[in-house]
Amino acid sequence: MPDATGLELIAQELREAEGEGAVIETTFFRARGSVEIDPARVRSVLARLRERGYSFLASVHGVDYYPHEPRLGVHYELLDMARVDRITVKLRVRSERPEVDSVTEEGPDGPGWPTADHQEREVYDMFGVVFRGHRDLRRILMPEDYEGHPQRRDFPVGGEPVAFTFNERETLGPM
Amino acid sequence: MGAPTPTDQPGISEYRRREQDVTLEPVRRQLAERDGGGGSGEELLTLNFGPHHPATHGVLRLLVTLQGEVVRDLKPIIGYVHTGIEKTAEDKAYWKVIPVVERMDYLSYYFNAMAYVGAVERLVEVEVPRRAQYLRVIHLELNRIASHLIWLGTSALDLGAVSIFLYCLRERELILDLFEMSSGQRMHTRYFQVGGVMEDIPGGFERKLREFLKIMPERADEYGAILNSNEIVLQRLRGTCPLDADTLLALGVSGPLLRAAGNPWDLRKADPYCCYEDFSFKIPVGTVGDNYDRFAVRLAEIYESVKIVAQALDGLPEGPHMTEDRKVALPPRHELATSMEALIHHFKLVTEGFRVPPGEVYNAIESPRGELGCFVRSDGSSKPARVHMRDPSFVNLQALSHMTRGSYIADMIATTAMLDPILGGIDR
Amino acid sequence: MEVRRERLRGQPAHVDADALRVRSLNAHQLLRGADLEGANRPAHLHGTELDESELERYVHERVLTTTLESTVAWARSNSFFPLAFGLACCAMEQFHTAGSRMDIARFGFEAFRASPRQADLIILAGRVSIKMAPIIRRLYDQMLEPKWAISMGACCSSMGVFNNYALVPADKFLPIDVHVPGCPPRPESLMHGILKLRKMVQDDPDLGWRDRYQARGTEEVIGEGDTPDVVDARGAAAAAVNAGVDARPAQDTPGA
């Protein structure tokens, strides 16, 4: 595990390489380190961490921080198999323009992470985050013509708002 | 979902109307090109496998592009058992999430519970007693054996060896009897709770478990003997659909698939959790990474799991089976009659649940299919703000198209079987 | 020990053997309605012999058909061909029902067919998501009459543990005959459900679901034209009256 100082060193390196605004915050919580970065630099940050040894992308998942803006977060869990080290890269995008570069494909900054293919599609399906450059971004778990992004926190659990007496006009419509 | 569109022809259903739109025009065009000169003479056929098909494990749909009988491309389409588990979990108190999350990867239910409970325990910073950890290991490894038995049975069914299915179910019945003894349920037992296990094992469990541990290696030898000397099984598995470890790592594949390709990555050894460092066991590793290696690695893991359970049973320490921290775990019932605090704690835990300090944590364990991770975000209340299960089958499925490119349909079926996808985990 | 016999009150001391004996009517007399008394006696039988065609109709209505129907019902109920269809966790317990301990082959139901055209019992084992519902409906439509459906588990019958956007209880799009509760139901529970269905089929193969769900006219009629339609012309009117069951699924998930 990178301890707190190791984490700060990584953050420092990233700031030097990518610019001051790349790393917004570092958190060392329950013995695991995570860095929150600027969404525009996700590909290059991941490439630098890969050079540092974090070569296995274990998970790409989305989080909804409703009602705090920027609301939609994407977390990348990286694993260094040689040193058994985990680090999380987090980014947050606003819900008005939820766009992030996709890390799946190869690009000028290095080989991509093919494992992010289906996982980014799931984040798109469930949260609505659009991954630019993903070759086939469509819904993966819900039917193709479904409307709405289910795992956003303001999406009702039942898929439709529950009709009580006080809101029956809105939910059920004119009857 | 859109409303059903009215058709202008009465008495024709939507299916039939759409099917009537399909014509042979593209094929005719292709044939004309070929006959016109210059065509290669072979056309690509896109075939739809599933979601209902006797050879798919669960409702997996594959769009296979075939050239003759050779698979050129494969696209899995999933979502047919999407249950909204992660969304449902946001509505429930932390301990109520356990049964919901257990039903995700429905063959390795203890692992789902372990990943989630481990994440919450890291957030709450509660200490799990050693006896509870050993009991957890026993149940986890028994569940690993049970999961591998179903994998073996259904894969053999796919390959045509029907009797192995019945033999594996016979062993699995013994394991489910043990689960029923310890927790009352055969599957989805809610046995793991935050802070320990729900109940201590009853008397007679140890004896029954030892009998099972004596039988299981002999039975596994039988399965090995039947399958390893069967010409058909060997022909179908040896040398088919290999994939090297580097591609697998890039695709995020872990578990027996990665170990079959030669990379001995196992979270139980690399990053031990739940007292796994107390046990000595080996990691079976393959060499070539073809279907036979995947099969052999899983079969060998059954023996290793038996060893781990035997060691855990022998070394089972005395002590509580649940943490003493009353803020997190229910007090024992006899205390409710005498102690006021116990009553209040019980009431708070049952009605509201325990509160978890805000934070985000990701906890990964080694399930029978690979790295099973659970991400829990807590906002300080008694319900989780986000639960995400990183399911190994979901990520492993991406390797299927790479594995089957250039192989025959029959090899594709065998590879899907060896991949061991569990659609409950894939779709969540 | 001394045994004392006593007549029940109201019985004559000596019983006429002839009165007690069932009137031994021979088949000839039975077929002519000699066992019916008074007003029940069919008018055309009073004092007359039935001629060939009437006799045949009389027999057809009374004796042979009833026996034939119940024989057929007995045969159908003892040889369900379940569709090999497992969705989620309940499918694991379905395997165990087919395993050696809770052997489904004891009852004759071990022939799990892969093709819906060859199956007559669909056991919905597992949770039905909104993406899967139209496909299950299509499978059910492909099954030939008579067909039955068992909803296994809590997720299928109601929505079970999950009360959310993604699931559909099977009752919304399929007429279900037996619901088996449990999460997952033990193999014994599923067996109990199947045997309950067997008993229901022995008594009444139709099970009346077409009336319950107002689905008269949705029978698949083969031979009108070349393409059999799931809902034929008569059924279009009946389908307009259908509430809820004939939920025509709008999307059939198209190819990628």
Note the pLDDT tens digit of each residue in C166-192. 888 888 888 888 999 998 899 999 999
Coil vs helix vs strand at A89 = strand
Q: Which residues make Cβ contacts (< 8 Å) with residue C29, sequence separation at least 6?
A: C35
Coil vs helix vs strand at B314 = helix
d(CA A90, CA C103): 52
Using CA atoms, how far residue B403 sits from B46, B332, B406, in Å, is 18, 53, 8
Residue numbers of A between 82 and 111 with CB closer than 8 Å to B: 84, 86, 88, 111
Phi, psi of B302 (to 5 degrees): -65, -45
CB contact under 8 A, B377 and A63: yes
CB contact under 8 A, C131 and B80: yes
Q: Is the pLDDT of residue C243 over 60?
A: no
Higher pLDDT, C65 or B253: B253
Selection from B306, B258, B300, B261 nearest residue B283 by Cα: B300
Predicted confidence band of residue C122 (pLDDT cuts 50, 70, 90)? very high
Mean pLDDT of the residues in chain C: 73
Low-confidence stretches of chain B (pLDDT < 50) are 1-7, 37-39
Higher pLDDT, B305 or C252: B305
The half-sphere exposure of B198 on its side-chain side, counting CA atoms within 13 A, is: 17
DSSP assignment of C150-192 equals EEESHHHHS-TT--STTB--GGGTS--SEEE-SSSPPHHHHHH
Q: Which residue shows structure tokens 């994998």?
A: B151
* pLDDT value at residue C220: 61
Mean pLDDT of the residues in chain B: 88
Can you name the residues that pair with B366 across neighbouring β-strands?
A: B371
User: How confident is the model over A79-137, as pLDDT tens digits?
Assistant: 998 988 899 999 999 888 888 888 888 878 778 899 999 999 999 999 999 998 888 88
Residue numbers of B between 62 and 101 with CB closer than 8 Å to C: 63, 75, 77, 79-85, 87-88, 99-100
Q: Is the pLDDT of residue C254 over 50?
A: no
Residue type, A119: Q
Distance from A81 to chain C by nearest Cα, in Å?
A: 33
d(CA B54, CA B157): 10
Of C165, C253, C254, the CB nearest to A158: C165
Chains in touch with C (≥3 Cβ pairs < 8 A)? A, B
Chains in touch with B (≥3 Cβ pairs < 8 A)? A, C
Of C130, C163, C251, the CB nearest to A158: C163
d(CA A32, CA A1): 7
CB C121 within 8 A of CB C195: no
Helix orientation angle between B130-159 and B109-124, rounded to the nearest 10 degrees = 150
d(CA B115, CA C97): 30
ipTM for the predicted complex comes to: 0.90
- Chain A residues whose CB is inside 8 A of the B2 CB are 145
Number of other CB atoms surrounding residue B315 within 10 Å: 12
Higher pLDDT, B401 or C56: B401
* pLDDT value at residue C235: 46
Chain C, nearest residue to A161 by Cα: C165
Coil vs helix vs strand at B64 = strand
Whether C159 contacts chain B with CB within 8 A = no
Whether C185 contacts chain B with CB within 8 A = no
Q: Which residues make Cβ contacts (< 8 Å) with residue C240, sequence separation at least 6?
A: none
Pairing relationship of beta strands B45-49 and A130-132 according to DSSP bridges? unpaired
CB contact under 8 A, B84 and C236: no
d(CA C119, CA C216): 22
Of A143, A156, A160, the CB nearest to C253: A143
- Give the best residue of B249, B266, B381, B405 to mutate against chain A (max A CB count within 10 A): B249
Q: What is the Rg, in whole angstroms, of the alpha carbon atoms belonging to chain A?
A: 19
Chains in touch with A (≥3 Cβ pairs < 8 A)? B, C
Q: Picking from A149-153, B59-63, C93-97, C241-245, which range would have the lowest pLDDT averaged per residue? A: C241-245
- List the end-to-end C-alpha distance of chain C, in Å, as a whole number: 88
Number of other CB atoms surrounding residue B228 within 10 Å: 14
Helix orientation angle between B130-159 and B409-419, rounded to the nearest 10 degrees = 170
Q: Is the pLDDT of residue C164 over 90?
A: no
Whether B22 contacts chain C with CB within 8 A = no
- Chain A residues whose CB is inside 8 A of the C131 CB are 142-143
Residue type, C163: N
Residue numbers of C between 92 and 131 with CB closer than 8 Å to A: 130-131
- Chain C residues whose CB is inside 8 A of the B166 CB are 99-100
Q: Which residues make Cβ contacts (< 8 Å) with residue A112, sequence separation at least 6?
A: A103, A104, A105, A106
* pLDDT value at residue C86: 86
Q: Which residues make Cβ contacts (< 8 Å) with residue A38, sequence separation at least 6?
A: A21, A22, A23, A24, A91
- Chain C residues whose CB is inside 8 A of the B186 CB are 93, 184, 186
d(CA B180, CA B191): 10
Selection from B135, B128, B114 nearest residue B316 by Cα: B135
B402-412 as b/e: b if 16+ CB within 10 A: bbbbebbbebb
Higher pLDDT, C90 or C146: C90
* pLDDT value at residue B162: 86
CB contact under 8 A, B2 and A139: no
Residue type, C15: V
Using CA atoms, how far residue A109 sits from A45, A50, B11, B61, B193, in Å, is 10, 11, 58, 35, 45
CB contact under 8 A, C95 and B54: no
* pLDDT value at residue B376: 94
CB C44 within 8 A of CB C54: yes
* pLDDT value at residue B363: 93
